[in-house]
Amino acid sequence: MKTVTAEVPIVSDKGQLIAAGVDRNGFWKRIAVEPAEIAPRYETVASPDYGACFDVDAFVSHEDQLRSRQTGVGADPNGRPVQDPLLGSLALGVFPYLSNGAQHLAVFEQFIRSYTHPDASKSYKVKSCTASRRLIVLNISMCNQGDAQCVLDALIEIRHQNPDADMFVVVSKLGPAELQESSEFSKFADTLAANDIWNMFAGADSSTRHVAHGKAIMIDDHVLFSAGSVMDTWPINKADFSIELPAAAAAVFRQYTAEAIHVHASPERRAQLTAELASHGVVINDPISGLTYINRAQDALIRDASRELLITVVSLS
């Protein structure tokens, strides 16, 4: 379908419908269009309640259709509907860290190094027991290019200090495509393997991959959570917000991660855990069961705003 910002269509001498206007690139054009290419102003919708059909605004009708596709848990069209969770808030006095550009990598490094040594008040045992230390890095991608090397160095240090710890990264890819085709990638992969740092779900297998558009580092009972970056594309300006979750929220987040990754939790169980997490003030999307709680929370905030609402996000889509 041709897309223009058009004035009132006109009919040529030959009976052809002509639209004149500015296209998406800013150029003035006159193009021939077919009547079928013009979206109707209204759509006829049947109402079972009234046993009749009504003309509904086409935009409203399309929006309702999209919303109806986001109200089921999992892929089963007959599954139970999504129930929006009660949104809680983090404890008073808990504030996120704001970092610009690559500074967020220093925040990750500092968090890892601050828990390099185990908590002296707890008893951690060797790998043969169930109480060994555990570190999980959750991200879209991970590499050691540029400033990211500091995070890898911190992971290696925690491995040296904790030789029996379980250490995993959960990412969809290890760096960009150009890195994976270079000799540096082999060195990077060898470094991870040499330090027993294993990537659990690299690749595009959507049936097993568990990667949300966010970042988190979990070390024992501690969780550093970071949402997607807020970016201006030109000039490039990037901001990241990271927060160390309070104990209650961290416990639920670790439970959700453990069951979603290791136990393959059902869509219903994922909905239960993400709803409980939301009650602690942490809202996430679940990529497997299709739970779009972030989007639904944004929608609720926008609809409930009585005066004004400031939202800083990557996208509302």
267-279 vs 293-304: helix crossing angle, rounded to 10: 40
Residue 163: the pLDDT is: 92
The reported pLDDT for the residue numbered 9 is: 56
Q: Which two tokens stand for residue 118?
A: 């185990």
274, 290 contact by CB (below 8 A): no
pLDDT at site 312: 59
Cα 44 → chain centroid: 36
In a 3-state reduction of DSSP, which class is residue 157? helix
Q: What is the mean pLDDT of each run of 10 residues along the chain (317 residues)?
A: 50 74 78 74 76 78 64 55 68 81 88 83 46 85 87 94 91 81 88 88 54 80 84 72 91 89 79 88 79 73 68 53
- Show the tokens assigned to 270: 């994922």
Q: Which amino acid is at 212?
A: A
Round to whole Å and give the CA distance between 217 and 205.
Answer: 23
Handedness of CA 218, 222, 224, 227 (dihedral sign): positive
Tell me what pLDDT residue 290 has: 73
With tokens 């393997």, the residue in question is: 193
**Contact (CB, 8 A) for 173 and 188:** no
H or E element in which residue 43 lies? strand 42-47
Q: Please give the pLDDT value at position 283.
A: 86
In this prediction, residue 284 carries a pLDDT of: 84
Kindly write down the DSSP assignment for every residue of 190-252, as one continuous string.
HHHHHTTEEES--SS-TTT----SEEEEEETTEEEEEEPPEEEETTEEEEEEEEEPPHHHHHH
d(CA 218, CA 112): 9
